[in-house]
Protein backbone atom coordinates (compact mmCIF):
# COMPACT_ATOMS: atom_id res chain seq x y z
CA UNK A 1 0.00 0.00 0.00
CA UNK A 2 1.21 3.44 -0.83
CA UNK A 3 1.80 6.08 1.78
CA UNK A 4 -0.35 9.12 1.27
CA UNK A 5 2.17 11.89 1.31
CA UNK A 6 -0.33 14.58 2.30
CA UNK A 7 -0.89 13.29 5.82
CA UNK A 8 1.20 10.16 6.09
CA UNK A 9 -1.78 7.83 6.26
CA UNK A 10 -2.05 4.73 4.15
CA UNK A 11 -3.76 5.33 0.86
CA UNK A 12 -5.54 2.17 -0.31
CA UNK A 13 -6.17 1.48 -3.98
CA UNK A 14 -8.43 4.31 -5.01
CA UNK A 15 -11.92 2.99 -5.73
CA UNK A 16 -13.44 6.44 -5.60
CA UNK A 17 -15.97 5.22 -3.06
CA UNK A 18 -14.81 7.43 -0.20
CA UNK A 19 -16.98 10.05 1.53
CA UNK A 20 -15.31 12.81 -0.47
CA UNK A 21 -17.17 11.68 -3.59
CA UNK A 22 -19.83 14.25 -4.36
CA UNK A 23 -22.95 12.53 -5.56
CA UNK A 24 -26.51 13.73 -6.10
CA UNK A 25 -27.82 10.75 -8.02
CA UNK A 26 -26.87 7.19 -7.11
CA UNK A 27 -26.18 4.52 -9.70
CA UNK A 28 -29.64 3.17 -8.89
CA UNK A 29 -31.21 6.50 -9.76
CA UNK A 30 -31.93 7.73 -6.22
CA UNK A 31 -31.60 11.44 -5.55
CA UNK A 32 -29.36 12.15 -2.57
CA UNK A 33 -28.58 15.45 -0.91
CA UNK A 34 -25.14 16.90 -0.34
CA UNK A 35 -24.43 19.58 2.27
CA UNK A 36 -22.43 21.79 -0.11
CA UNK A 37 -23.87 21.17 -3.53
CA UNK A 38 -27.44 21.13 -4.72
CA UNK A 39 -29.44 21.29 -7.90
CA UNK A 40 -33.05 22.17 -8.17
CA UNK A 41 -34.20 21.30 -11.64
CA UNK A 42 -37.58 21.37 -13.29
CA UNK A 43 -38.86 18.28 -15.06
CA UNK A 44 -37.99 19.83 -18.37
CA UNK A 45 -34.46 20.47 -17.25
CA UNK A 46 -34.03 16.87 -16.22
CA UNK A 47 -35.35 15.79 -19.56
CA UNK A 48 -33.06 18.20 -21.37
CA UNK A 49 -30.04 16.66 -19.64
CA UNK A 50 -31.27 13.21 -20.52
CA UNK A 51 -31.67 14.24 -24.14
CA UNK A 52 -28.11 15.60 -24.23
CA UNK A 53 -26.70 12.39 -22.80
CA UNK A 54 -28.57 10.19 -25.23
CA UNK A 55 -27.76 12.24 -28.30
CA UNK A 56 -24.11 12.60 -27.46
CA UNK A 57 -23.77 8.88 -26.91
CA UNK A 58 -25.48 8.31 -30.23
CA UNK A 59 -23.18 10.73 -32.01
CA UNK A 60 -20.18 9.04 -30.46
CA UNK A 61 -21.34 5.55 -31.46
CA UNK A 62 -21.92 6.80 -34.97
CA UNK A 63 -18.40 8.20 -35.15
CA UNK A 64 -16.92 4.93 -33.93
CA UNK A 65 -18.86 3.09 -36.62
CA UNK A 66 -17.72 5.56 -39.26
CA UNK A 67 -14.13 4.93 -38.29
CA UNK A 68 -14.68 1.19 -38.66
CA UNK A 69 -16.06 1.83 -42.12
CA UNK A 70 -12.96 3.77 -43.08
CA UNK A 71 -14.69 7.14 -43.17
CA UNK A 72 -12.66 8.49 -40.26
CA UNK A 73 -8.97 7.89 -39.70
CA UNK A 74 -9.38 7.77 -35.95
CA UNK A 75 -11.95 8.34 -33.23
CA UNK A 76 -11.53 9.02 -29.52
CA UNK A 77 -14.76 7.83 -27.94
CA UNK A 78 -16.31 9.52 -24.90
CA UNK A 79 -18.30 6.41 -23.99
CA UNK A 80 -18.88 6.39 -20.23
CA UNK A 81 -17.91 10.04 -19.79
CA UNK A 82 -21.15 11.60 -21.03
CA UNK A 83 -22.31 12.79 -17.62
CA UNK A 84 -19.01 14.47 -16.78
CA UNK A 85 -19.12 16.35 -20.05
CA UNK A 86 -22.80 17.22 -20.22
CA UNK A 87 -22.96 18.13 -16.54
CA UNK A 88 -19.99 20.46 -16.74
CA UNK A 89 -20.91 21.70 -20.20
CA UNK A 90 -24.42 22.68 -19.15
CA UNK A 91 -23.04 24.59 -16.17
CA UNK A 92 -21.43 27.07 -18.55
CA UNK A 93 -22.85 30.43 -19.52
CA UNK A 94 -22.56 31.48 -23.13
CA UNK A 95 -19.77 33.96 -22.39
CA UNK A 96 -17.66 31.36 -20.59
CA UNK A 97 -14.76 29.86 -22.48
CA UNK A 98 -13.71 26.23 -22.84
CA UNK A 99 -10.33 24.65 -23.58
CA UNK A 100 -10.89 20.98 -24.45
CA UNK A 101 -8.70 17.95 -25.06
CA UNK A 102 -9.56 15.71 -28.03
CA UNK A 103 -12.35 13.82 -26.25
CA UNK A 104 -14.73 16.63 -25.23
CA UNK A 105 -17.45 15.87 -27.75
CA UNK A 106 -20.13 16.24 -25.09
CA UNK A 107 -18.89 19.65 -24.03
CA UNK A 108 -18.70 20.69 -27.68
CA UNK A 109 -22.32 19.61 -28.01
CA UNK A 110 -23.32 21.83 -25.10
CA UNK A 111 -21.46 24.74 -26.65
CA UNK A 112 -23.36 24.36 -29.91
CA UNK A 113 -20.45 23.22 -32.04
CA UNK A 114 -21.78 21.34 -35.05
CA UNK A 115 -20.90 17.66 -34.46
CA UNK A 116 -19.74 17.43 -38.05
CA UNK A 117 -17.10 20.04 -37.32
CA UNK A 118 -15.63 17.76 -34.68
CA UNK A 119 -15.20 15.02 -37.23
CA UNK A 120 -13.11 16.95 -39.74
CA UNK A 121 -9.90 16.47 -37.81
CA UNK A 122 -10.59 12.78 -37.27
CA UNK A 123 -11.40 12.30 -40.93
CA UNK A 124 -8.22 14.10 -41.90
CA UNK A 125 -9.64 17.08 -43.75
CA UNK A 126 -8.37 19.70 -41.32
CA UNK A 127 -6.25 20.17 -38.22
CA UNK A 128 -8.87 21.96 -36.17
CA UNK A 129 -11.83 22.98 -38.15
CA UNK A 130 -13.84 25.67 -36.42
CA UNK A 131 -13.65 29.25 -35.30
CA UNK A 132 -13.12 28.94 -31.54
CA UNK A 133 -14.67 32.35 -30.95
CA UNK A 134 -18.00 31.37 -32.44
CA UNK A 135 -18.98 29.15 -29.51
CA UNK A 136 -16.23 30.08 -27.05
CA UNK A 137 -14.95 26.57 -27.53
CA UNK A 138 -11.28 26.34 -28.33
CA UNK A 139 -9.83 23.87 -30.83
CA UNK A 140 -9.19 20.32 -29.72
CA UNK A 141 -5.67 19.93 -28.35
CA UNK A 142 -3.86 16.66 -28.87
CA UNK A 143 -0.57 17.49 -27.17
CA UNK A 144 -1.34 16.36 -23.65
CA UNK A 145 -1.89 19.17 -21.18
CA UNK A 146 -0.90 22.10 -23.42
CA UNK A 147 -4.37 23.64 -23.33
CA UNK A 148 -4.39 23.91 -19.54
CA UNK A 149 -1.99 26.85 -19.76
CA UNK A 150 -4.00 28.47 -22.53
CA UNK A 151 -7.06 28.30 -20.31
CA UNK A 152 -5.24 29.99 -17.47
CA UNK A 153 -3.92 32.68 -19.79
CA UNK A 154 -7.38 33.30 -21.18
CA UNK A 155 -8.66 33.59 -17.64
CA UNK A 156 -5.92 36.09 -16.87
CA UNK A 157 -7.13 38.09 -19.85
CA UNK A 158 -10.79 38.21 -18.89
CA UNK A 159 -9.74 39.00 -15.35
CA UNK A 160 -8.03 42.12 -16.68
CA UNK A 161 -11.07 43.01 -18.77
CA UNK A 162 -13.25 42.89 -15.70
CA UNK A 163 -15.91 40.73 -17.36
CA UNK A 164 -17.74 37.94 -15.56
CA UNK A 165 -16.46 35.30 -17.95
CA UNK A 166 -15.03 32.16 -16.39
CA UNK A 167 -12.91 29.55 -18.09
CA UNK A 168 -12.94 25.77 -17.97
CA UNK A 169 -9.96 23.78 -19.07
CA UNK A 170 -10.33 20.04 -19.49
CA UNK A 171 -7.68 17.37 -19.16
CA UNK A 172 -7.23 13.74 -18.17
CA UNK A 173 -5.71 11.79 -15.32
CA UNK A 174 -2.64 11.08 -17.43
CA UNK A 175 -2.28 14.74 -18.30
CA UNK A 176 -2.03 15.61 -14.63
CA UNK A 177 1.57 14.34 -14.78
CA UNK A 178 2.59 16.84 -17.42
CA UNK A 179 4.68 19.85 -16.56
CA UNK A 180 2.27 22.11 -18.42
CA UNK A 181 -0.64 21.11 -16.19
CA UNK A 182 1.36 21.67 -13.04
CA UNK A 183 2.55 25.01 -14.34
CA UNK A 184 -1.05 25.89 -15.13
CA UNK A 185 -1.96 25.15 -11.50
CA UNK A 186 0.84 27.41 -10.33
CA UNK A 187 -0.06 30.31 -12.61
CA UNK A 188 -3.75 30.03 -11.83
CA UNK A 189 -3.04 30.07 -8.12
CA UNK A 190 -0.63 32.99 -7.99
CA UNK A 191 -2.70 35.12 -10.35
CA UNK A 192 -6.00 34.02 -8.81
CA UNK A 193 -7.26 33.33 -12.31
CA UNK A 194 -10.98 32.70 -12.89
CA UNK A 195 -10.43 29.19 -14.20
CA UNK A 196 -11.88 25.79 -13.40
CA UNK A 197 -9.67 22.76 -13.97
CA UNK A 198 -12.00 19.96 -14.95
CA UNK A 199 -10.16 16.65 -14.90
CA UNK A 200 -11.95 13.57 -16.14
CA UNK A 201 -10.24 10.80 -14.25
CA UNK A 202 -11.31 7.93 -16.47
CA UNK A 203 -8.81 5.66 -14.69
CA UNK A 204 -6.63 5.15 -17.75
CA UNK A 205 -4.10 7.00 -19.85
CA UNK A 206 -4.03 4.64 -22.81
CA UNK A 207 -2.63 1.52 -21.07
CA UNK A 208 -1.44 3.14 -17.87
CA UNK A 209 -3.66 3.11 -14.79
CA UNK A 210 -3.89 6.15 -12.51
CA UNK A 211 -1.46 4.54 -10.02
CA UNK A 212 1.24 5.22 -12.60
CA UNK A 213 0.50 8.94 -12.51
CA UNK A 214 -0.15 9.73 -8.86
CA UNK A 215 0.16 8.54 -5.30
CA UNK A 216 -2.59 10.70 -3.83
CA UNK A 217 -6.16 11.05 -5.03
CA UNK A 218 -6.03 13.49 -7.90
CA UNK A 219 -8.32 16.16 -6.43
CA UNK A 220 -6.04 16.53 -3.41
CA UNK A 221 -3.24 17.87 -5.52
CA UNK A 222 -4.95 21.24 -5.71
CA UNK A 223 -4.33 21.87 -2.02
CA UNK A 224 -0.59 21.88 -2.57
CA UNK A 225 -0.97 24.61 -5.16
CA UNK A 226 -3.21 26.69 -2.95
CA UNK A 227 -6.74 26.24 -4.24
CA UNK A 228 -9.58 23.85 -3.50
CA UNK A 229 -10.02 20.51 -5.17
CA UNK A 230 -13.08 18.28 -5.08
CA UNK A 231 -13.99 14.86 -6.33
CA UNK A 232 -17.33 14.43 -8.00
CA UNK A 233 -19.04 11.31 -9.27
CA UNK A 234 -18.26 11.74 -12.94
CA UNK A 235 -21.12 9.46 -13.94
CA UNK A 236 -23.62 11.63 -12.12
CA UNK A 237 -24.74 14.40 -14.41
CA UNK A 238 -26.46 16.30 -11.62
CA UNK A 239 -23.43 16.36 -9.39
CA UNK A 240 -21.17 17.39 -12.26
CA UNK A 241 -23.58 20.21 -13.09
CA UNK A 242 -23.85 21.42 -9.49
CA UNK A 243 -20.15 21.29 -8.73
CA UNK A 244 -19.08 22.95 -11.97
CA UNK A 245 -21.66 25.70 -11.49
CA UNK A 246 -20.36 26.35 -8.03
CA UNK A 247 -16.77 26.43 -9.23
CA UNK A 248 -17.62 28.82 -12.06
CA UNK A 249 -19.53 31.10 -9.70
CA UNK A 250 -16.61 31.08 -7.36
CA UNK A 251 -14.28 32.08 -10.19
CA UNK A 252 -16.68 34.84 -11.21
CA UNK A 253 -16.71 36.19 -7.67
CA UNK A 254 -12.95 36.57 -7.91
CA UNK A 255 -12.17 33.70 -5.57
CA UNK A 256 -9.80 32.04 -8.00
CA UNK A 257 -9.28 28.60 -9.46
CA UNK A 258 -10.69 25.26 -8.45
CA UNK A 259 -9.91 21.70 -9.44
CA UNK A 260 -12.75 19.28 -10.13
CA UNK A 261 -11.86 15.64 -10.45
CA UNK A 262 -14.70 13.84 -12.18
CA UNK A 263 -14.29 10.23 -11.16
CA UNK A 264 -15.40 8.22 -14.16
CA UNK A 265 -14.34 5.44 -16.48
CA UNK A 266 -13.27 5.13 -20.09
CA UNK A 267 -15.67 2.42 -21.23
CA UNK A 268 -14.17 2.09 -24.68
CA UNK A 269 -10.70 1.80 -26.11
CA UNK A 270 -8.42 4.83 -25.79
CA UNK A 271 -9.06 5.44 -29.47
CA UNK A 272 -10.09 3.23 -32.33
CA UNK A 273 -6.38 2.38 -32.75
CA UNK A 274 -6.15 0.90 -29.27
CA UNK A 275 -6.66 -2.64 -27.98
CA UNK A 276 -7.51 -2.48 -24.25
CA UNK A 277 -7.65 -6.28 -23.91
CA UNK A 278 -3.86 -6.12 -23.76
CA UNK A 279 -3.81 -4.26 -20.48
CA UNK A 280 -7.07 -4.29 -18.54
CA UNK A 281 -9.55 -6.80 -17.22
CA UNK A 282 -13.11 -6.95 -18.45
CA UNK A 283 -14.30 -7.37 -14.83
CA UNK A 284 -13.47 -3.70 -14.31
CA UNK A 285 -15.65 -2.80 -17.24
CA UNK A 286 -18.52 -4.88 -15.91
CA UNK A 287 -18.32 -3.09 -12.58
CA UNK A 288 -18.49 0.30 -14.23
CA UNK A 289 -21.38 -0.72 -16.46
CA UNK A 290 -23.49 -0.74 -13.29
CA UNK A 291 -22.68 2.93 -12.82
CA UNK A 292 -23.71 3.98 -16.30
CA UNK A 293 -24.51 7.70 -16.44
CA UNK A 294 -27.50 7.40 -18.74
CA UNK A 295 -29.12 4.41 -17.07
CA UNK A 296 -29.12 6.09 -13.70
CA UNK A 297 -30.81 9.24 -14.95
CA UNK A 298 -33.31 7.11 -16.83
CA UNK A 299 -34.07 5.16 -13.65
CA UNK A 300 -34.57 8.42 -11.81
CA UNK A 301 -36.92 9.76 -14.47
CA UNK A 302 -38.98 6.57 -14.37
CA UNK A 303 -39.20 6.57 -10.61
CA UNK A 304 -40.29 10.17 -10.59
CA UNK A 305 -42.64 9.70 -13.50
CA UNK A 306 -40.88 12.42 -15.47
CA UNK A 307 -41.23 12.28 -19.24
CA UNK A 308 -44.14 10.74 -21.10
CA UNK A 309 -43.78 8.01 -23.74
CA UNK A 310 -43.98 10.67 -26.41
CA UNK A 311 -40.81 12.28 -25.11
CA UNK A 312 -38.85 9.07 -25.30
CA UNK A 313 -40.22 8.22 -28.74
CA UNK A 314 -39.34 11.67 -30.04
CA UNK A 315 -35.87 11.36 -28.61
CA UNK A 316 -35.40 8.02 -30.31
CA UNK A 317 -36.42 9.60 -33.61
CA UNK A 318 -34.17 12.58 -33.03
CA UNK A 319 -31.31 10.24 -32.26
CA UNK A 320 -31.87 8.37 -35.52
CA UNK A 321 -32.00 11.66 -37.35
CA UNK A 322 -28.73 12.79 -35.81
CA UNK A 323 -27.11 9.51 -36.75
CA UNK A 324 -28.24 9.90 -40.33
CA UNK A 325 -27.06 13.49 -40.52
CA UNK A 326 -23.66 12.55 -39.16
CA UNK A 327 -23.27 9.59 -41.53
CA UNK A 328 -24.27 11.56 -44.58
CA UNK A 329 -22.30 14.58 -43.50
CA UNK A 330 -19.10 12.61 -43.09
CA UNK A 331 -19.48 10.62 -46.27
CA UNK A 332 -19.99 13.75 -48.31
CA UNK A 333 -17.36 15.80 -46.51
CA UNK A 334 -15.09 17.02 -49.29
CA UNK A 335 -11.35 16.60 -49.20
CA UNK A 336 -9.56 19.90 -48.96
CA UNK A 337 -7.95 21.48 -51.97
CA UNK A 338 -4.31 20.34 -51.60
CA UNK A 339 -3.06 23.88 -52.16
CA UNK A 340 -5.00 24.94 -49.08
CA UNK A 341 -2.10 23.65 -46.99
CA UNK A 342 -0.35 26.90 -47.92
CA UNK A 343 -3.25 28.98 -46.59
CA UNK A 344 -3.14 30.64 -43.19
CA UNK A 345 0.39 29.53 -42.36
CA UNK A 346 0.96 33.14 -41.38
CA UNK A 347 -1.43 36.01 -40.79
CA UNK A 348 0.64 38.22 -43.09
CA UNK A 349 2.10 37.35 -46.49
CA UNK A 350 5.25 35.27 -46.38
CA UNK A 351 7.40 35.07 -49.52
CA UNK A 352 8.64 31.51 -48.99
CA UNK A 353 5.12 30.17 -48.59
CA UNK A 354 4.00 32.13 -51.64
CA UNK A 355 6.87 30.78 -53.72
CA UNK A 356 6.32 27.21 -52.65
CA UNK A 357 2.60 27.52 -53.34
CA UNK A 358 3.33 28.78 -56.85
CA UNK A 359 5.78 25.94 -57.47
CA UNK A 360 3.31 23.43 -56.07
CA UNK A 361 0.56 24.66 -58.35
CA UNK A 362 2.81 24.75 -61.41
CA UNK A 363 4.01 21.22 -60.68
CA UNK A 364 0.46 19.89 -60.43
CA UNK A 365 -0.62 21.82 -63.50
CA UNK A 366 2.17 20.10 -65.43
CA UNK A 367 0.45 16.75 -64.89
CA UNK A 368 -2.82 18.10 -66.19
CA UNK A 369 -1.06 19.46 -69.29
CA UNK A 370 0.85 16.23 -69.81
CA UNK A 371 -2.36 14.27 -69.45
CA UNK A 372 -4.09 16.40 -72.07
CA UNK A 373 -1.14 16.19 -74.46
CA UNK A 374 -0.98 12.46 -74.05
CA UNK A 375 -4.56 11.80 -75.13
Partner 1 sequence: MAPAQSTGTTRQMSMVQALNTGLRRSLESDPKVLIMGEDIGKLGGVFRVTDGLQKDFGEDRVVDTPLAESGIVGTAIGLALAGYRPVVEIQFDGFVFPAYDQIVTQLAKMHARSLGYVRLPIVIRIPFGGGIGAVEHHSESPEAYFAHTAGLRVVSCSNPVDAYWMIQQAIASDDPVIFLEPKRRYWTKAEVDTAATPGPLYDSRVVRSGDACTVVAYGPMVATCLEAAAAAAEEGRELEVIDLRSVSPLDFDTIEKSVERTGHLVVVHEAPSFLGIGAEVAATITERCFYHLQAPVLRVGGYHTPYPPSRVEEEYLPDLDRVLDAVDRSLAW
103, 220, 245, 270: the active-site residue? 270
Q: 330: Cβ–Cβ under 8 A, 6 or more apart, which residues? A: 66, 71, 72, 116, 119, 123
Give catalytic status of residue 34 as yes or no.
no
Give catalytic status of residue 270 as yes or no.
yes
* Nearest one of 140, 81, 134, 82 to 111, comparing CA atoms: 134
Which listed range, 21-29, 60-68, 89-97, 332-340, lies at the site for partner 1 (CB under 8 A)? 332-340
Q: 289: Cβ–Cβ under 8 A, 6 or more apart, which residues? A: 267
Report the site for ligand TPP in 270-309 (rule: CB under 6 A): 270
In the complex with partner 1, which residue's Cβ is closer, 48 or 341?
341
In whole angstroms, the minimum distance from the beta carbon of 60 to ligand TPP comes to 13
Q: Is 175 in the site for ligand TPP (CB under 6 A)?
A: yes
In the complex with ligand TPP, which residue's Cβ is closer, 3 or 142?
142
Q: Is 186 in the site for partner 1 (CB under 8 A)?
A: no
Q: Is 347 in the site for partner 1 (CB under 8 A)?
A: no
72, 84, 144, 214: which one contacts ligand TPP (CB under 6 A)? 144
Active site residues: 266, 270, 279
Which residues of the shown chain bind partner 1 in the complex (CB under 8 A)?
A: 73-74, 120-127, 142-144, 174-175, 177-180, 205-208, 212-213, 273-274, 278-279, 335-336, 338, 340-342, 345, 350, 352-353, 356, 360, 363-364
Binding site for ligand TPP (CB under 6 A): 103, 142-144, 172-175, 202, 204-206, 266, 270
Amino acid sequence: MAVDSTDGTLFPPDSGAGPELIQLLTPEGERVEHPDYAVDLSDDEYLALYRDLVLVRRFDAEATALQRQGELGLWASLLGQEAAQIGSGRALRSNDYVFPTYREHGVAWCRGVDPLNLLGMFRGVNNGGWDPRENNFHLYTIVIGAQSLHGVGYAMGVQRDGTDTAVVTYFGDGASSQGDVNEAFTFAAVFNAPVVFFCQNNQWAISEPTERQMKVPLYRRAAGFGFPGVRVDGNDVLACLAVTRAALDRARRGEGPMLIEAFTYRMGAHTTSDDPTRYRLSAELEEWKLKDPIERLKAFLHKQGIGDPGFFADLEAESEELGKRVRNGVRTMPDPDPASMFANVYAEPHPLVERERAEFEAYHASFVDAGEDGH
